[in-house]
């Protein structure tokens, strides 16, 4: 009898556990289901009696006359700005009223980047590094957006966002190490110059293929959403990259999955040698946003405060509402596309000079600071001298460092080296020993 009672009790415990497990599974399923549909644009209730379109793929009304939608249904998406070209605040209510120390940091980071660009560009021309890409004219888009982010936000760059990484604290020594591919390079000398990356600063390593970062950023933002960690992902790209199919995939995935993602397009006028009038026929990149269901804005990329305000508000809403935003920053690429390009073949010197002298983000911010008595000629001369000294010292240290150990060519692919890779490594060393006069191993770390 005791055995029967024990068996009955055991049955009761098992039944309770099964019921709990079933309830838990049902709850989990409902939570997952809610995660997929909450906040989405749900299908409207079907009403067969109403004389209106019931198609599930669009929200519209019937019309009784033939009409094609014109490419530009409005005169053009306006360009949001805070300062005019003389650094004067246009609408006081839009002034971010940043403290003096923060504005000075903006200016110093922008000018330090400019100085680093000049020195590394010349070093490539002298044959000291193999390749370089400058950021001339686009410094405001870097610093304004970077300042509006949190350090934990994940950054996907294209290849002209060095200022974002610099603002986050990436030191000059590591910029130089990457461009020189020396032993201090975080990438171990495997990438071509300007392909920076830093895990500690949440900056994903740049890759050469155009626009591949856009769908990757959408996936990362979906993961961030599931983690619910109050973070966003920001993805930088140019207007030329927006012509790639990857841009379509990234835009659409982020909108349908409702990801906290900021698409930041630097529309600088040229995709290498292709001007915007040959790149697209619509109203820029921001005009594409509504078609994908993206909240969109166009800003003056040469106005660091406009970039800051737009990015900060987009970040706040992306986190709060779980939705992607598209920011198109209108700017101008003053430098050549890269050291492999000669832009004088497709644009005039007068055009470049206008943007360099009349509408430069650095000079605009300097006007703002000067008007408030925060900056003058003495401070300018001292900082220019100091910033050049800082860059040159890092430059000289990088040149003297050894190259990474050649063994690193074969690591970081598998946890343990597999036989085919070991075979390749051995073949390399045999080749190097046979032709050692062509391989100065004393320049490499042991």
User: What are the residue numbers of the active site?
Assistant: 122, 208, 337-338
Chain-centroid distance, C-alpha 62: 41
Burial 388-403 (b: 16+ CB within 10 A, else e): eeebeebbebbeebeb
**Where do runs of H (alpha helix) occur along 303-411?**
304-321, 349-358, 361-371, 377-400
Longest CA pairwise span in the chain (Å): 103
Residue among 158, 169, 164, 285 nearest 217 (CA): 158
Unique residue bearing structure tokens 């950023």: 217
- C-alpha–C-alpha distance, residues 318 and 378, integer Å: 42
- Angle CA(259)–CA(265)–CA(270) in degrees, nearest 5? 155
* Torsion 72-271-208-143 (CA) sign: negative
Beta bridge partners of 157: none
- C-alpha–C-alpha distance, residues 172 and 304, integer Å: 22
Phi, psi of 326 (to 5 degrees): -115, 120
- Strand ranges inside 23-176, DSSP E: 154-156
CA dihedral 165, 170, 174, 180 (to 10 degrees): 20
């Amino acid at each position: 009898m005791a055995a029967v009672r024990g068996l009955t009790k055991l049955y009761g415990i098992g039944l309770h556990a099964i019921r709990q497990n079933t309830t838990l599974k049902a709850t989990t399923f409902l939570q997952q289901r809610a995660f997929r549909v909450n906040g989405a644009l749900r299908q409207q209730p079907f009403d067969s009696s109403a004389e209106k379109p019931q198609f599930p793929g669009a929200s519209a009304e019937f019309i009784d006359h033939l009409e094609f939608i014109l490419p530009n249904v409005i005169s053009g998406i306006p360009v949001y700005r805070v300062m005019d070209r003389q650094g004067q605040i246009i609408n006081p209510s839009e002034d971010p009223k940043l403290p003096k120390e923060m504005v000075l940091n903006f200016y110093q980071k922008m000018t330090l980047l400019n100085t680093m660009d000049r020195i590394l560009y010349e070093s490539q021309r002298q044959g000291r590094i193999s390749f370089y890409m400058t950021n001339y004219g686009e410094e405001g888009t870097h610093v304004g957006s970077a300042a509006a982010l949190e350090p934990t936000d994940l950054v996907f760059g294209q290849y002209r966002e060095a200022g974002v990484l610099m603002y986050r604290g990436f030191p000059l020594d590591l910029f130089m190490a990457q461009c020189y591919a020396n032993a201090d390079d975080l990438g171990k000398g495997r990438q071509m110059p300007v392909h920076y990356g830093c895990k500690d600063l949440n900056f994903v390593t740049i890759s050469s293929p155009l626009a591949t970062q856009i769908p990757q950023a959408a996936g990362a933002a979906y993961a961030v959403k599931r983690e619910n960690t109050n973070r966003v992902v920001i993805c930088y790209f140019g207007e030329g990259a927006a012509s790639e199919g990857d841009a379509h995939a990234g835009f659409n995935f982020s909108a349908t999955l409702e990801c906290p993602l900021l698409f930041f397009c630097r529309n600088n006028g040229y995709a290498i040698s292709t001007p915007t009038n040959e790149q697209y026929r619509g109203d820029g990149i921001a005009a594409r946003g509504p078609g994908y269901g993206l909240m969109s804005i166009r800003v003056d990329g040469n106005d660091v405060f406009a970039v800051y305000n737009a990015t900060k508000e987009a970040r706040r809403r992306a986190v709060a509402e779980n939705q992607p935003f598209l920011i198109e920053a209108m700017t101008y690429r003053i430098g050549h596309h890269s050291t492999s390009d000669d832009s004088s073949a497709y644009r005039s010197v007068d055009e470049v000079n206008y943007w360099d002298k009349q509408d430069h983000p650095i000079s605009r911010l300097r006007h703002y600071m000067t008007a408030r008595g925060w900056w003058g000629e003495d401070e300018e001369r001292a900082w220019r001298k100091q910033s050049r000294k800082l860059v040159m010292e890092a430059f000289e240290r990088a040149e003297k460092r050894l190259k990474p150990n050649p063994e690193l060519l074969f690591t970081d692919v598998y946890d343990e080296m597999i036989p085919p890779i070991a075979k390749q490594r051995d073949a390399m060393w045999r080749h190097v020993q046979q032709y050692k006069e062509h391989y100065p191993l004393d320049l490499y770390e042991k």
